[in-house]
């Protein structure tokens, strides 16, 4: 399993649009992707779960990526976060 933490810089936090894009990105990964925030964990491939985290600016999302391609998927997700969130 690989982990990384991303701090959200978007002043609006994880609104519907960015949440949708994030879920799409996670769905394109072969690995399992989980996000933990404030003690709650959500499956990053499920939109309602991700929106349910109610991610705001400066929140630190902890990603856990597990699967045969986890290193590549981790990079992909990191790059996505940096470009979009």
| 54 contacts other proteins (rule: CB under 8 A) | yes
Does 20 participate in catalysis according to the annotation? Answer: no
Bridge-based pairing of strands 2-7 and 40-43 is unpaired
Q: In the numeric block, which tokens belong to residue 39?
A: 């003690």
| 47 contacts other proteins (rule: CB under 8 A) | yes
x/- contact string, 13-32, with other proteins (CB under 8 A)?
Answer: x-xxx-xx--xx--------
Residues 5 and 34 sit within 8 Å (Cβ to Cβ): no
Which residues bind to other proteins, rule: CB under 8 A? 9, 11-13, 15-17, 19-20, 23-24, 46-49, 51-52, 54, 56, 58
């Amino acid at each position: 399993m690989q982990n990384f933490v991303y701090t959200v810089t978007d002043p609006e936090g994880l609104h519907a649009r960015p949440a949708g894009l994030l879920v799409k990105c996670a769905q394109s990964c072969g690995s399992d992707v989980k996000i933990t925030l404030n003690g709650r964990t959500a499956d990053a491939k499920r939109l309602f779960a991700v929106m349910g985290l109610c991610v705001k600016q400066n929140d630190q999302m902890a990603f856990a990526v597990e699967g045969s391609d986890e290193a590549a998927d981790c990079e992909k997700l990191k790059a996505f976060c940096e470009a979009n969130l």
